[in-house]
Amino acid sequence: MREYHGSCHCGNVKFLLNTTISEFTTCDCSLCVKKNAHMLKVHESEFTLQSDWDTVSEYQWNTRVARHYFCKRCGIYTFHRKRSAPEFFGINVYCIDNLDASSINTVATEGANMTIECTEPRDVWPGPVR
């Protein structure tokens, strides 16, 4: 494990990661596509928000399980709590300081076909698209 520091554009939101980076993910859900999310999945025990929680604004939609966080000052998407694995965060890789994101393998994940509040939801998330 290694320590990584990260922040939004203006530095208002700061976080610390203690993790091993093996891959990044993208997601094809409507929100991730629009915010061009390129994420690192980390367990909540590997993430520390060093700023106060009042520095971020939260956005939720659909099932309201996922929680997406943006800097209140500059608007940058910094991280989110994942719907498919609520004990994990998805971290915006471009907010991690001094990290060459181009050197890490990226895996596309399916989000577009996750249940959208319907009467017949899938009982199992299909996982990464390989």
| C-alpha span between 30 and 23 (Å, rounded) | 22
| 33-44 residue pLDDT tens | 888 888 999 999
Domain 2-116, CATH = 2.170.150.70
| 14-40 residue pLDDT tens | 999 999 999 998 888 777 788 888 899
Please indicate whether residue 109 or residue 126 has the higher confidence score (pLDDT).
109
| Strand duo 24-27 + 106-109: pairing | parallel
The mean of the pLDDT values for the chain is: 85
Name the pLDDT band for 75 (thresholds 50, 70, 90).
very high
Single pTM value for the model = 0.81
The ranges assigned to domains in the chain are: 2-116
pLDDT at residue 25 in the model: 86
CA geometry: angle at 63 spanning 46 and 113, to 5°? 90
pLDDT at residue 32 in the model: 76
DSSP string, 39-55: EEEEEGGGEEE-S-GGG
Average pLDDT over residues 68-72: 94
